[in-house]
A and B are shown apart, each in its own frame.
Chain A
Amino acid sequence: MSAIEARRGPQIAARASIALILIVAMGLFGLGVYRAASLFKSSATAVQRPTGTTFPALPGTMYVVQDGAIYRFANGSFRQVTSESGWIQPSLSPDGSRLVVARRSLNRSDLFVLSPLGRVLLQLTHNQSPSVETNHWAFYPRYSPDGSAVYFSYDPKDPYNTYRVDLAIFATGAHDASAPAVQWSQPNEYTGGDVDPIPLRNGALLYTKFSIDQQSVVHSQIWYAPHAGSPGIGLTKPADDCGQPALSNDQSMVAMVCRHGGLQSADLEVASFDPSVPALGSFSVLVGGGLAASPSFSPDGKLIAFLAPGADGGPFQLWTVDPNPATTHSARQITTHLDLDSGSAPAWAA
């Protein structure tokens, strides 16, 4: 080995060390850039499960839905009570001891009675069928005030036209899966049908009815039917496009969502209600200009829970607002980074 070669040995080792350091530095720099860039990515997909985070506490217990699972919200924490398997639209029995829930599967949905901890007690409907178009839907289950019946939306088939699929309101026994269901409403054809049944103490029913006018514009109205089969009357005007009614426990106030002909905002509004007339009082907008959905009164009537996107849009979060039209309304966002099912109104118990 020559003297020159002998000197090159340490030089090569030093250069190799420098190269290694540079490679590591470049790697760290690249990683830093990658991490920094990720901070600038939109937060559109930053959704988490309700469990594992605490939120501001609300009075009582509430049931909400995310990704097909029912969650129980109490003392600021969520507890998952069912698996993620298509559960939607929970509603409490009058004594709070049971939930009636829809479970959605491919091509159909069925109604189940669950314990508050999610155990299946009874399957109320059996809508599965071997051929696609003979399956049925059942949505929006709601107990009658005495707990003896469950009202819901269901698609009776039109034997003359397979294109027509309109939901109608039915009622069935809450404790007997074999009890025949009674059809309450007759939907306007090809509107998609009647939804959101709310049975009243006087035996009548509130629900949302849709119509399509001569200019092919779709309208929705809060509808009142005094008895099964009655054509009923509209409590709101077609132009107000109101739906998703919620009733206070004392039945003196209705909360609803109205879009007033628009397609980009749905206001949360309240009106006094007199079932004996029946009529709604003047409307008050509690939350305007956003996408409010599925209101629900607290058991004491002092709050309304509803669902709406977070501050910069995106998945729906839980919000509350004071329903008293005389107070200054300021909606309060309760949850963040959830993706709550906006079609499942919070079921709120004391």
Chain B
Amino acid sequence: MATVNSGPVPMPVPNPLPAGTEPFTVLLLGSDDDAKFPPDRVNTQSMILIRVDPSTKKATMLSIPRDLWVPIPGQGMGKISTAYQTGGADGALAAVESNFKIHIDDYVWIGLAGLVRLIDQLGGVDMLITNPVMDDLYPSDINSNDVYGYSRVAVLPGAVHLDGVHALEYVRSRHGDLRGDFARSERQQQLLIAIKARAEHLNAADLPGLASAMEGEIKTTIGLARMRLLFSLAGDFTGPNVQRVVLLPPYTSEGFAAGQSVVFPDWSQILPVVHQSFP
């Protein structure tokens, strides 16, 4: 069963009124969805807050480090990536809202296999690889009998056209980069922009195939009216209209807590940026 749903928005009526032009915020969740985890109890490898302002046609993306050490409602201190594991999408939303002091209107969850299928259905994405992305311990857990296996990845620099599997390698690798998970966050934002660029070439005749490919791999509360608004605005969100925020040091610092490698937030520096970007 497809898990795309209309969420809190009522079913569309003939000639629906256009969606409002008020800004809205969406939490994008990207997850492992393999056999390592019980269904719907997966880690979120990627958390990106996106604020869309239809009136100014500007968007802001803020990547939340997956190892950010925060209080998680109902759970205590933990990595923010585990909020979804224990509380599902509502848990992830609550963790982000309570720590970043913002309101989130909607969420989109996509599994790794779903991301691969989405990109393939789009015919691939054009990316600009800044430097060689090398990883000797890349998890080979998709379409694999050994979910704990690993393989080597080498994504070579330059402009490329990537299919889903190779785009996933690009945004998921992290071991061979000095900037670790922060580099991965940047690459994930870059991929979102590339997906947006390819989606501009879609039209209604492509949607059945896309929906079929994404079956069970995407969940969202975004209603059809807002989705349609996003679709119509996609072409306007070009380079200068998209602000990208990654919480690098000094906003965060790496360390250990509860025997784990974690990322500590400096809220005194993070919150002013968040409130400026997500007013």
Do A and B originate from a single complex? Answer: yes
User: Using a CB–CB distance below 8 Å, which chain A residues touch chain B?
Assistant: 37-38, 40-45, 106-109, 132-133, 135, 137, 139, 155, 162-167, 189-193, 195, 208, 210, 212, 215-216, 218, 220, 241, 243-244, 257, 259, 262-266, 291-294, 307-309, 312-316, 339, 342-343
A44 B124 Cβ-Cβ under 8 A: yes
Which chain B residue lies CB-closest to A218? B130
Comparing B56-64, B91-99, B201-209, the segment that makes contact with chain A is B201-209
Nearest first, the 5 closest Cβ-Cβ pairs linking A and B are: A44-B123, A192-B132, A190-B178, A165-B134, A291-B159
> Which size class do B's interface residues fall under?
35 or more
- B254 CB, min distance to chain A CBs, angstroms: 13
B131 A220 Cβ-Cβ under 8 A: yes
- Any A CB within 8 A of the CB of B152: yes
Comparing B16-24, B28-36, B80-88, B190-198, the segment that makes contact with chain A is B190-198
B175 A108 Cβ-Cβ under 8 A: no
A255 and B41 CA atoms in complex are apart in Å by 51
- Any A CB within 8 A of the CB of B12: no
B137 A210 Cβ-Cβ under 8 A: no
- A229 CB, min distance to chain B CBs, angstroms: 21
Which chain B residue lies CB-closest to A290? B159
B130 A263 Cβ-Cβ under 8 A: yes
User: Contacts of A191 on B, CB cut-off 8 Å?
Assistant: 131-132, 178
User: Contacts of A42 on B, CB cut-off 8 Å?
Assistant: 123, 201-203, 205-206
Within 8 A of A (CB), among B92-132: 122-124, 126, 128, 130-132
User: Contacts of A45 on B, CB cut-off 8 Å?
Assistant: 123
B132 A262 Cβ-Cβ under 8 A: no
Which residue, B133, B152, B197, has most C-beta atoms of chain A within 10 A? Answer: B152
A313 B152 Cβ-Cβ under 8 A: no
- Any A CB within 8 A of the CB of B2: no
- Any A CB within 8 A of the CB of B255: no
B151 A132 Cβ-Cβ under 8 A: yes
- Any A CB within 8 A of the CB of B267: no
Selected from B130, B178, B201, the residue in CB contact (under 8 A) with A241 is B130
User: Contacts of A308 on B, CB cut-off 8 Å?
Assistant: 159
B151 A106 Cβ-Cβ under 8 A: yes
B152 A132 Cβ-Cβ under 8 A: yes
Selected from A106, A167, A259, A315, the residue in CB contact (under 8 A) with B124 is A315
- Any A CB within 8 A of the CB of B150: yes
B131 A257 Cβ-Cβ under 8 A: no
- Any A CB within 8 A of the CB of B179: yes
User: Contacts of A135 on B, CB cut-off 8 Å?
Assistant: 152
- Any A CB within 8 A of the CB of B239: yes
User: Contacts of B132 on A, CB cut-off 8 Å?
Assistant: 166-167, 191-193, 195, 210
Selected from A107, A189, A195, the residue in CB contact (under 8 A) with B157 is A195
B175 A163 Cβ-Cβ under 8 A: yes
User: Contacts of A190 on B, CB cut-off 8 Å?
Assistant: 176-178
Which chain B residue lies CB-closest to A244? B158
User: Contacts of A257 on B, CB cut-off 8 Å?
Assistant: 158-159
A242 and B129 CA atoms in complex are apart in Å by 12
| Known A42-B123, A218-B130, A263-B130: A212·B158 in contact at CB below 8 Å | no
B158 A132 Cβ-Cβ under 8 A: no
| Known A216-B182, A314-B123: A342·B159 in contact at CB below 8 Å | yes
Which chain B residue lies CB-closest to A167? B132
User: Contacts of B124 on A, CB cut-off 8 Å?
Assistant: 44, 314-315
- B145 CB, min distance to chain A CBs, angstroms: 15
- Any A CB within 8 A of the CB of B165: no
- Any A CB within 8 A of the CB of B225: no
Which chain B residue lies CB-closest to A265? B128
- B207 CB, min distance to chain A CBs, angstroms: 10
- Any A CB within 8 A of the CB of B154: yes
Selected from A37, A133, A243, A313, the residue in CB contact (under 8 A) with B126 is A313
B122 A44 Cβ-Cβ under 8 A: yes
Which chain B residue lies CB-closest to A42? B201
A109 and B137 CA atoms in complex are apart in Å by 17
User: Contacts of A109 on B, CB cut-off 8 Å?
Assistant: 154
